[in-house]
Structure 1
Amino acid sequence: MSVVCCVEQKAHNFLCARELPRLHTVNRVGLLPAHVNRNDRAIVALVMLAHGMVHTYELSIPIFVAIWLREYAIIDLGLSAIPVTAASLGVMTGLGFALFGLGALPGGILVDRVGSKRLIVGCLAGMSGSFFLLAAAPNLVVVALALVLWGAAASVYHPAGLRLISTGVEERGTGFAYHGIAGNLGIGFGPFLTALLLLFFDWHVVAGVLAIPALAAAVFATRADFEEQAAVAAADGSGGGGDDKSSTGVSSFGEFVTESKALFAGGFALVFAVVMFSGLYYRGVTTFLPDLIGNVIGIEPIPIAALLPAFLLPGSAAAAPTLEVELYVYAGLLTIGVLGQYVGGKLTDRIRTERGIVVGFAALAVVALAFLPVASLGIIPLLAICALLGFFLFMVQPFYQATVAEYTPAGLRGLSYGFTYLGVFGVGALGGAIAGFILTVATPTTLFFVLAGFAAVASLLGVTLLRKRPASA
């Protein structure tokens, strides 16, 4: 027996030596620590790429809206025509963003049946196709159709990607951290790249250019090789995927209702409440923050002609566009979230996730109360409070993502993340409407008090989770 073990050990060492160069190759893609195994690397590389794409397109759409307001006068529906206003374009673009949130639940159900990889490939291909359609759009009706297709395609990503991390990545917290970092890079880079391209090209051309990366990512995704249930199999030692629902998901409406009731009968109900308040805070603070920052800074837009040589300017210098400073401060705030995602993700492997929820949302409440008083002190205090907001706004995400995984069975992970992002992007979308109403009838100070209340409630829910943590978690 000892001879056999010795031979097997030598064979194992030989295979590890053969595998090492390939691990380093994947490591260059995912930028993961050297000790992370090959399956984790392959999964994290894919979800980082896809997550960055989703948020690149999400945050590029508002940049186009300003152009459509100037370029179009009506939305021709055939039998009637609707004047183009901020309200009508808001409804039009809102259709796509609504599907982005509402589609997460059916996406979560579907991913438990067909697996994550197929849905991620479909998501990337669908987003690419929707932006190619946007590039060819002759009118706003086709633009609206393209945005609806984008929302439907993008909606399946979060339940698919997060389920893949929770069931396939053994170092789950690290996976969530790098996944969040990629999303924040897309959030910050998407609007910046779109605005930069629009300085030199028509918006149709820019939309077509943006469609290409997602198509290339879809091709890459089809070639990705990994085991989706590796972490669950390692946890129970069976290779079969964990609990009794680890590979079956739900197969009928009746089973969907039954399993949903089972999810909400336990601690997941409190987790769902946390993510709803997180979504309300997120949309509430980000929707109108550029305008608020602009009012605090009080700096006039900077003409491009003052920054570029004359031969690089599109047309005459007088007709050259201007840089809206508050947009770049806003993009920087979102980019700071990369650090928050990384710190939050790493901490989920070291502390109880409920404790991270308590501390993170308490910090967001304090930042909301301090934002306007600190920002009014000058440009440096403004940048500092914006950095703190960006850090904590995204630091809490890995904590509630990991908490969902701890309070749900592996086989219903897609369903649970579907409900999660229904709460974050669906219910949370009301945060923008609430913020707009408050700013219309009250003051920015009132808005930030309400935002602090959202964060405080989420923090108190975290305290409740700490006290009532079930033994299974």
Structure 2
Amino acid sequence: MSGNQARIEWFSAAGHFLCHFYMQAFPTLALYIPLAYGIERTAALNLNFAMAFLFGFGALPSGLIGDRWQGRGMLLISFLGMGACSLACAACTTPGQLTVALAGIGLFASIYHPIGMGLISKCCPNRGQSLGRNGVAGSLGIGAAPLLVGQLMAAGFSVPKAFATLAIPSLAVGVALLFVRIDETPLTAKTAAPQRRGDRTGFLIMLACMTLLGIAYRASTQVLPTHFEAQIGMVPWLAKSAKESATILAACVLLMAMVGQLIGGRAADRHDLRKAYVVFHLLSIPMVLLMASQTGLSLAGIAILYYTLSLGMQPIENSIVARITPDRLRATGFGIKFFCCFGLGAVGVALAQHMADEYSVERLYSVVGSLIILVMCIFSAFWWRCRKESFTNHG
């Protein structure tokens, strides 16, 4: 690995970790915000609506700016912005002020995905494996946030002091990046390889697939602790209540499943991307359907397999996006993807709530399986469109 590639991977990994870390820190802090600000629990949970909204919808303008300016500069803005807004949260004295500061975190966090993915896909030779390692960093951020925040609050930190402490890592990485130079020249330009033209129709087909998968993923993870609480109950050797057991098991499942990112990254570099994408999804369908009927700890085992495959397809999917977008529009392409996956994918939260209220959580997993089958049907049109092309990360 060259020095430039190492710098890209390390700072991209830091960005992926931190953007998910800040987004996942709020749900735990929301347990303590009602007492700190004198508001109801439901009002506290609603404070992050603007943050979640901007995290998804800010990806598109971030990608557009990144393609016209530079990735390093955008990452620098993201790191310093997230840290500064976390400090602003610490200084807030009213719920309204906190809403604005949290929205700032969401906006600056939205910069990472189009910029980081764009840099890796343009400048790293083993694209799939680099994207896989980067995916692990994001998963670690998701898992580390509730654990670290929980430890801070257990140690007696106030909500403002916790926000101030959480600002430190992002500000530190931002300051470090000030003294680092990154060569953003695409590999295709360095090797005199022919520039690929974008496939607009193919991208639109993939966009439909990715949006549906975003809805499916958000829906399935939204109710995972609830599903575990109902179908597994209390695990005596793990926790003292069914709710606590479900929370710990859900976190463990998602953390263990992140190995799928590494498996998917290797598959993306070694096999036809279309075949790898289909294999991962076809294997995931029976797993998610079994989640609708299993009980006890076997449900947790099935969930690990499902989420390993669900996360494992991400480096493959991101490689496909890179394959069908030209270098000059790479960040924009990823910006559109994450605009849809995180923004429109939020429909999955509403779907999960509707299914839980009107039917059952178990039936939701059957719906998720049906969505994946629909995605495979749509993807067949993409495969047919490019059936005569070599479709790998290296050609």
TM-score, shorter chain, exceeding 0.5: yes
Please say which structure displays the higher CA radius of gyration.
1
Q: Aligned-pair distance for 1:284?
A: 0.4
What secondary structure, in the 3-state scheme, does the structure 1 residue paired with 2:291 have?
helix
Letter in 2 for 1:270: I
1:434 corresponds to which of 351, 354, 357: 351
CA distance in 2, matches of 1:148, 1:163: 24
Letter in 2 for 1:205: K
Aligned 1:57-72 pairs, distance under 5 A: 57-69=22-34, 71-72=36-37
Letter in 1 for 2:32: I
Q: Aligned-pair distance for 1:437?
A: 0.9
Deviations 1:9-63 (A, max 9, x none): xxxxxxxxxxxxxxxxxxxxxxxxxxx2222212111111111111111111111
Q: Aligned-pair distance for 1:303?
A: 11
Aligned 1:192-271 pairs, distance under 5 A: 192-200=147-155, 201-236=157-192, 242=195, 264=200, 266-271=201-206
Q: Aligned-pair distance for 1:462?
A: 2.9
Q: Aligned-pair distance for 1:174?
A: 1.7
Unaligned runs of 5+ in 2: none
CA distance in 2, matches of 1:236, 1:243: 12
1:408 correspondence with 2:342: no
Letter in 2 for 1:358: V
Q: Aligned-pair distance for 1:243?
A: 6.1
Question: Contact 2:235–2:242 (CA<8 Å) still a contact in 1?
Answer: no
- Aligned partner of 1:166 in structure 2 is 121
1:55 corresponds to which of 20, 38, 54: 20
Question: Contact 2:229–2:243 (CA<8 Å) still a contact in 1?
Answer: no
1:418 corresponds to which of 327, 335, 338: 335
What secondary structure, in the 3-state scheme, does the structure 1 residue paired with 2:13 have?
helix
1:281 corresponds to which of 195, 213, 216: 216
Aligned 1:251-400 pairs, distance under 5 A: 264=200, 266-299=201-234, 324-374=244-294, 376=295, 378-379=296-297, 381-400=298-317
- Aligned partner of 1:6 in structure 2 is none
Letter in 2 for 1:391: T
Shift of the 337–322 alpha-carbon distance from structure 1 to 2, 3 Å rule, reads: closer
CA distance in 2, matches of 1:152, 1:301: 41
Q: CA RMSD in A?
A: 2.4
What secondary structure, in the 3-state scheme, does the structure 1 residue paired with 2:125 have?
coil
Letter in 2 for 1:435: A
Deviations 1:357-377 (A, max 9, x none): 212222332222101322x1x
Question: Contact 2:28–2:146 (CA<8 Å) still a contact in 1?
Answer: yes
- Aligned partner of 1:155 in structure 2 is 110
Question: Contact 1:359–1:459 (CA<8 Å) still a contact in 2?
Answer: no
CA distance in 2, matches of 1:341, 1:440: 33
Q: Aligned-pair distance for 1:444?
A: 1.4
Question: Contact 2:292–2:363 (CA<8 Å) still a contact in 1?
Answer: no
What secondary structure, in the 3-state scheme, does the structure 2 residue paired with 1:228 have?
coil
Identity of aligned residues (%): 26
What secondary structure, in the 3-state scheme, does the structure 2 residue paired with 1:373 have?
coil
Shift of the 263–135 alpha-carbon distance from structure 1 to 2, 3 Å rule, reads: farther
Name the count of aligned residue pairs: 389
CA distance in 1, matches of 2:150, 2:236: 14
Deviations 1:52-104 (A, max 9, x none): 11111111111122223455454xxxxxxxxx352x44443121111000011
Q: Aligned-pair distance for 1:332?
A: 1.1
Letter in 2 for 1:213: P
Question: Contact 1:112–1:414 (CA<8 Å) still a contact in 2?
Answer: yes
- Aligned partner of 2:9 in structure 1 is 44
Unaligned runs of 5+ in 1: 1-35, 75-83, 245-261, 307-320
Tell me the TM-score normalized by structure 2. Answer: 0.92
Letter in 2 for 1:39: N
What secondary structure, in the 3-state scheme, does the structure 1 residue paired with 2:181 have?
coil
Aligned 1:45-124 pairs, distance under 5 A: 45-69=10-34, 71-74=36-39, 84-86=40-42, 88-124=43-79
Shift of the 327–70 alpha-carbon distance from structure 1 to 2, 3 Å rule, reads: farther
CA distance in 1, matches of 2:337, 2:207: 6
